[in-house]
Amino acid sequence: MRGNDVKRIYLFLAAAGSMALAGCYSPDVAEEHAQDVAASQCEQQGKEFVQTSGSAVVTPGVTAANAKGHCVGPGDPDYVPPPPPPPAQ
């Protein structure tokens, strides 16, 4: 297994943990939370999260969501640099 694969698995496990009691989270909020967790993991590495898939499931007692993807930084093919700052006035 390559280093990037290990990071992807770790990232998926961190994002997959977005669960809450039904009624507390809507599926959309649960999926957004999973995306936020994944993005936070990437930010700690100085990179950005690129989501490749995600889903949310609602059962009578639990709402669960996951966000699958990988972290990218400058030099990676999926990297999108941040927009330039607005011009000074």
Residue 62's domain comprises 3-72
Is residue 39 included in any domain, yes or no?
yes
Span 14-32, pLDDT tens digits: 444 454 444 566 778 888 8
Question: Residue 21: its pLDDT value, please?
Answer: 43
Is residue 84 included in any domain, yes or no?
no
42 phi-psi bin (left φ>0, alpha ψ -120 to 50, beta other): alpha
Is residue 52 included in any domain, yes or no?
yes
The pTM of the whole model exceeds 0.85: no
CA dihedral 46, 48, 52, 53 (to 10 degrees): 90
**How many domains does the structure of the chain reveal?**
1
Where in 9-60 does DSSP place strands (E)?
Answer: 18-21, 48-58
Is residue 10 included in any domain, yes or no?
yes
Quick check: 25 and 56 in contact, CB under 8 A? no
